[in-house]
Amino acid sequence: MITINKHYKKLQTSYLFVDIARRVSEYQRQNPDKHVIKLGIGDVTKPLPPACIKAFHQAVDEMADEKTFRGYGPEKGYSFLRELVALHDFKALGAPISADEIFISDGAKCDTSNFQELFGSDNFVAIPDPVYPVYLDTTIMAGRTGILYEGRYGGVSYLEATKENNFIPALPEGRVDLIYLCFPNNPTGATISKKQLAEWVAFAHENKALILFDAAYEAFIRDKDIPHSIYEIDGAREVAVEFRSFSKSGGFTGTRCAYTVVPSTCRAFNLDGEEVFLHQYWNRRQSTKFNGVSYPVQKAATALYSIEGKRQAKELVDYYMNNAQIIRQEMTSLGYDCTGGDNSPYIWIDGKSDSWEFFDMLLNKAGVVCTPGAGFGHCGEGYIRLSAFNSLANVTEAMERIKAAL
In angstroms, give the least distance from the CB of 188 to ligand PLP. Answer: 11
Between 258 and 399, name the residue whose CB sits nearer to ligand PLP. Answer: 258
Query: For ligand PLP, which residue of 56, 78, 132, 295 counts as binding (CB under 6 A)?
Result: 132
Query: For ligand PLP, which residue of 49, 107, 133, 341 counts as binding (CB under 6 A)?
Result: 107
Q: Is 123 left (phi over 0), alpha (psi -120 to 50) or beta?
A: beta
Q: Which of 332, 303, 282, 180 is nearest to 324 (CA)?
A: 332
Between 244 and 361, name the residue whose CB sits nearer to ligand PLP. Answer: 244
Within 3-22, the residues that bind ligand PLP by CB under 6 A are: none
Q: Which residue is nearest to ligand PLP (CB)?
A: 107
Between 245 and 323, name the residue whose CB sits nearer to ligand PLP. Answer: 245
* CA–CA separation, 261 and 86 (whole Å): 9
Q: Which of 187, 219, 227, 198 is nearest to 41 (CA)?
A: 187
In angstroms, give the least distance from the CB of 78 to ligand PLP. Answer: 18
In angstroms, give the least distance from the CB of 244 to ligand PLP. Answer: 8
In angstroms, give the least distance from the CB of 245 to ligand PLP. Answer: 3
* CA–CA separation, 127 and 182 (whole Å): 9
Residue 328 one-letter amino acid: R
Query: For ligand PLP, which residue of 116, 123, 139, 186 counts as binding (CB under 6 A)?
Result: 186
| β partners of residue 212 | 180, 241
Between 346 and 367, name the residue whose CB sits nearer to ligand PLP. Answer: 346
Binding segment toward ligand PLP, per CB under 6 A, in 60-68, 104-112, 158-166, 369-377: 104-112
* CA–CA separation, 321 and 130 (whole Å): 22
Between 46 and 70, name the residue whose CB sits nearer to ligand PLP. Answer: 46
CB atoms within 10 A of CB 41: 15
181 by DSSP, 3-state: which?
strand
- The answer to whether residue 389 forms part of the interface with ligand PLP (CB under 6 A) is no
Between 49 and 107, name the residue whose CB sits nearer to ligand PLP. Answer: 107
In angstroms, give the least distance from the CB of 22 to ligand PLP. Answer: 19
Give 6-68 as a DSSP string.
GGGGGS-SS-HHHHHHHHHHHHHHH-TT---EE-SS----SPPPHHHHHHHHHHHHHHTSTTT
% helix, strand, coil for the chain, step of 5: 45, 15, 40
Q: Which of 353, 370, 403, 398 is nearest to 24 (CA)?
A: 370
Within 212-271, the residues that bind ligand PLP by CB under 6 A are: 214, 216, 245, 247, 253, 258
Query: For ligand PLP, which residue of 104, 182, 324, 388 counts as binding (CB under 6 A)?
Result: 182
Residues making contact with ligand PLP (CB under 6 A)? 42, 107-109, 132, 182, 186, 214, 216, 245, 247, 253, 258
